[in-house]
Chain A
């Protein structure tokens, strides 16, 4: 039911972990629904230099988390903002219809992390 790409990212997830001094953190999902993603970003000179995730969820949730870290790493904040759920699903060579919400979750987690980074930056001012 999953593409080889999904299975690859599920079995060897990239960038698993946490960043203790992260510049932005995005936490999305709900354990009641069986999916929770926490995404940590480190930003330097407007570029996402490091990104890590922790995910509670199904195979697709883990694979989409892993994939979005690959898509976002090295991008500018503005570039990362436009990474869509479709980009995540496409990069994974598709997702089963009932698992498409996982790609939404991953895209949302990244956006939340960026929002958090921008809010922190604004207060630091």
Chain B
């Protein structure tokens, strides 16, 4: 690797984002000066308490809810787990029916699968080839014993925006709690949990320029939910453990910035995204966009390339100074192709050759132009190594006897 002149372009903002200077500055005093425990009665404790409540108000303002409906957690994953298990198993309930989708994040799918093993019924609503759930399918899945519907706001891999408002009103009309994983949507979609009829919403600070290790769950007043972490009764008994004060302060400031800058940063990211979506299939033969071309997050451009495998692409791009991913960073290292792409009906072979580019507020047109310059060469280099090509396409079971 050549040091010095090496570029460093970050197109992996769905994996994580930088902590903005304003956020880091706000957090800093809470490590060493204002280090009180928010449960303490003395001045140190009161200082910590009031900073947490300010952050709670900021998150509430971002979501359009009351501050008392915001509960801090350690992550988006924890918020998802709490929403699903906490609602489904309320007061020791051991059976019932849960509706979710085939393209949820593992932080939703895994707790749902666990509940299924424990005796709940689970419906995984399929998606169209564009990666979007049909809200009619959700409604048709509703049963008398349905205890929870969970449909993500926007998909973490392909960025497709789900019909969460429609699902919200369907759930409301049946009196079923509706949870949405909004981890990728914060700062990119206008959110109002009251208008959108959302009962529970998960978010994670580090996806919108806050720190890692802190998230929140919005829980509509009156929703029946049980804690998963029990102890000292913090977060009004729903999530015990001493509050992560610096993290929560950072989340609060990141939420304010997400609200303040959403329109401006989104229009910039959308312009760059559309350039990628337009140019990549034009510059690279046999490259295709995954997911709906417009019903997608302003920062997500996701492609697949015939005849090559995604990891090689990521490594080659990294050598060119571009950080991207094949899909979700969480499952990197797993040899299985993305469950999201498979749910869209994309073949295993094609699902292996995918590239996710996720933009951030500071990416520039020049960086996009640089990527468009290096990508065709990187893809064709990998295609030279591949046994497959236009005249010798991949066929089922191609290769040999051994798997």
Q: Which residues of A contact B (CB under 8 A)?
A: 1-2, 7, 10-11, 13, 16, 26-38, 54-59, 61-62, 96, 98, 101, 105, 108-109, 112
B141 contacts the other chain (Cβ, under 8 Å)? no
Contact indicator B402/A108 (Cβ below 8 Å): yes
B32 contacts the other chain (Cβ, under 8 Å)? no
Contact indicator B385/A13 (Cβ below 8 Å): yes
Chain A contacts for B315, CB-based, 8 A: 2, 7, 10, 59
Residue of A nearest to B308 (CB): A56
* Cβ of B345 to closest chain A Cβ, rounded Å: 15
List B290-317 residues whose CB lies under 8 Å from chain A.
Answer: 307-309, 311-312, 315-316
Chain B contacts for A7, CB-based, 8 A: 1, 315
Inter-chain CA distance A58–B349, complex, in Å, is 13
A-B contact pairs, 16 of them (CB 8 A): A7-B315, A11-B319, A29-B403, A31-B352, A31-B388, A31-B398, A34-B337, A36-B399, A37-B399, A54-B385, A54-B387, A55-B385, A56-B394, A57-B312, A58-B309, A58-B311
Inter-chain CA distance A37–B309, complex, in Å, is 13
Q: Which residues of B contact A (CB under 8 A)?
A: 1, 307-309, 311-312, 315-316, 319, 333-335, 337, 347-349, 352, 384-388, 394, 396-403
Inter-chain CA distance A36–B398, complex, in Å, is 8
Contact indicator B335/A33 (Cβ below 8 Å): yes
Contact indicator A58/B387 (Cβ below 8 Å): no
- Consensus secondary structure, chain A interface: mixed
Q: Besides A2-B315, A36-B399, 10 other CB < 8 A contacts?
A: A13-B385, A29-B400, A30-B403, A34-B335, A34-B337, A36-B387, A54-B386, A55-B387, A98-B334, A105-B402
Residue of B nearest to A61 (CB): B309
Inter-chain CA distance A55–B348, complex, in Å, is 17
Inter-chain CA distance A35–B11, complex, in Å, is 26
Contact indicator A29/B385 (Cβ below 8 Å): no
Contact indicator A27/B319 (Cβ below 8 Å): no
* Cβ of B317 to closest chain A Cβ, rounded Å: 12
Chain B contacts for A31, CB-based, 8 A: 348-349, 352, 388, 394, 398-399
Chain A contacts for B385, CB-based, 8 A: 13, 16, 54-55, 62
Chain A contacts for B402, CB-based, 8 A: 28-30, 105, 108, 112
Chain A contacts for B348, CB-based, 8 A: 31-34
Residue of B nearest to A105 (CB): B402
Inter-chain CA distance A33–B309, complex, in Å, is 10
* Cβ of A84 to closest chain B Cβ, rounded Å: 16
* Cβ of A94 to closest chain B Cβ, rounded Å: 15
Inter-chain CA distance A57–B333, complex, in Å, is 13
* Cβ of A102 to closest chain B Cβ, rounded Å: 10
Chain B contacts for A27, CB-based, 8 A: 399-400
Chain A contacts for B319, CB-based, 8 A: 11
* Cβ of A25 to closest chain B Cβ, rounded Å: 10
Contact indicator B403/A56 (Cβ below 8 Å): no
> A57-B309, A58-B311, A61-B309 given as contacts; is B388 within 8 A of A30 (CB)?
no
Contact indicator B312/A62 (Cβ below 8 Å): yes
Chain A contacts for B386, CB-based, 8 A: 54-56
* Cβ of B154 to closest chain A Cβ, rounded Å: 26
Contact indicator A56/B401 (Cβ below 8 Å): no
Contact indicator A56/B388 (Cβ below 8 Å): yes
